[in-house]
Amino acid sequence: EKDGHDYFMLKEIAEQPKAVADTLLGRIDAAGSLRLDEVRISASELREMDKVVIVACGTAFHAGLIAKYAIEHWTRVPCEVELASEFRYRDPILDPRTLVVAISQSGETMDTLMALRHAREQGAKVLAICNTNGSTIPRESDAVLYTHAGPEVAVASTKAFLTQLVACYLVALYLGQVRGTQWGDEIQAVVRDLSRIAGAVERVLHTMQPVRQLARTLAQKDTVLFLGRHVGYPVALEGALKLKELAYMHAEGFAAGELKHGPIALIEEDLPVVVVVPSPRGRSVLHDKIVSNIQEIRARGARTIVIAEEGDEAVAPYADHLIRVPVTPTLLQPLVATVPLQVFACELATARGNEVDQPRNLAKSVTVE
């Protein structure tokens, strides 16, 4: 049942190219237009929306954080992302022109369910992004876009996360398509890139041996920090979450620009710091800034583990360990950059003798508030 893998988590990591491809299947037509007729919120209703609010927990929340960058960029509609457990307790502003997107692998997470119930009571429309057919969250939503990751057994979410990202991109691009934005050409180009992204994820999987080796050398460490910017920031948060839940290590993700506002005080000799580097093309200012962050932390003794695009030579001199990922549009980079962090956490958990598929104190679906 584990298909020759030691753990469900490894099997599910390996299934990611297929999960991504299956989630795209039938949703992009031959002309490169998005077909989301299954989302039973009409194009005219979507054109009326003046705000998107995403609610989710844990890994699904990280998918939501990434979605915000895509939605605001491609649609110019303001987007908020909130932990479902906090949402309804702060009296959020919602009305029929708010599109609430609830992201959940299991479809049974109580915090997310309570948040969407609250949103619907205020008259907002709720679109669920969910991996489990017929579960409670999609049943109680106005519409649903299913992710097609297949059953996820390991407690730590991997393939569901990648498919949540794909679904979020589809929603963002679809909103852009029905509303018509200045980014029409870019949207078309990204749709083409998205339809090829499963191959890029596959290529990452073939280069994971050095990541495993590196993880094993860090088994005795107490702390690992993760840094990123732009969509790399939520990727850093996700890398840290995976490490906490699987390796039971102290792990924290930071926006690299925040380093100088406090966290840089944590840097000490031989502290492992994973840095997710944005593409040097596109938002190159951010790239250059993060390269100087890497220099700064390395000068203070950090052991830098750098995830950077193929061909990005500027980072190489400052990387103690360099993990390459394929070239993608900036907004899609999380689909490839997250994979090494999943492998890293899984391998560290193994090296520390932890139960990978069933981490202590955790349940696969959290049905209490």
The answer to whether the beta carbons of residues 357 and 254 sit under 8 Å apart is no
From 18, 244, 289, 364, active-site residue: 364
Minimal distance, residue 347 CB to ligand F6R, in Å: 16
Main-chain dihedrals φ then ψ at residue 244, nearest 5 degrees: -60, -55
Provide the minimum distance between the beta carbon of 60 and ligand F6R in the complex, in angstroms, as a whole number.
Answer: 4
Q: Which two tokens stand for residue 236?
A: 């850093």
Residue the block writes with tokens 């190159």? 284
Handedness of CA 72, 75, 78, 84 (dihedral sign): negative
User: Measured at CB, which residue is nearest to ligand F6R?
Assistant: 58
Q: Between 101 and 290, whose beta carbon lies closer to ligand F6R?
A: 101
Q: Is 68 a catalytic residue?
A: no
Q: How far is the CB of 58 from ligand F6R (least distance, A)?
A: 2
Q: CB 273 → ligand F6R: shortest distance, Å?
A: 22
Which C-beta is closer to ligand F6R: that of 49 or that of 171?
A: 171
Q: How many CA atoms lie within 13 A of 236 on its CB side?
A: 25
**In 10 A of CB 17, how many CB atoms?**
20
Instruction: Report the distance separating Cα 293 and Cα 299, nearest Å.
Output: 10
Nearer to ligand F6R, 46 or 167 (CB): 167
Q: By three-state DSSP, how is residue 34 classified?
A: strand
Residue closer to ligand F6R, measured from CB, 137 or 190: 137
CB under 8 A, 24+ apart: contacts of 286-295:
286/229, 286/230, 287/312, 287/314, 288/314, 289/229, 289/256, 289/257, 290/227, 290/228, 290/229, 290/232, 290/256, 291/315, 291/318, 293/227, 293/256, 293/257, 293/259, 294/318, 294/319
Could you tell me if residue 269 is left (phi over 0), alpha (psi between -120 and 50 degrees) or otherwise beta?
A: beta
Residues in contact with ligand F6R by the rule CB under 6 A: 57-60, 104-106, 109, 112, 156-157, 241, 245, 365-366
Tracing tokens 């290529």 back to the chain, one arrives at 203
Judged by CB, which is closer to ligand F6R: 201, or 315? 201
Query: Nearest distance from residue 256's CB to ligand F6R, in Å?
Result: 23
- Report, in Å, the least distance between residue 353 CB and ligand F6R: 20
User: Residue 19: in which H helix or E strand, if any?
Assistant: helix 16-24
If the CB atoms of residues 61 and 74 are measured against ligand F6R, the closer one turns out to be 61
**Catalytic (active-site) positions:** 364
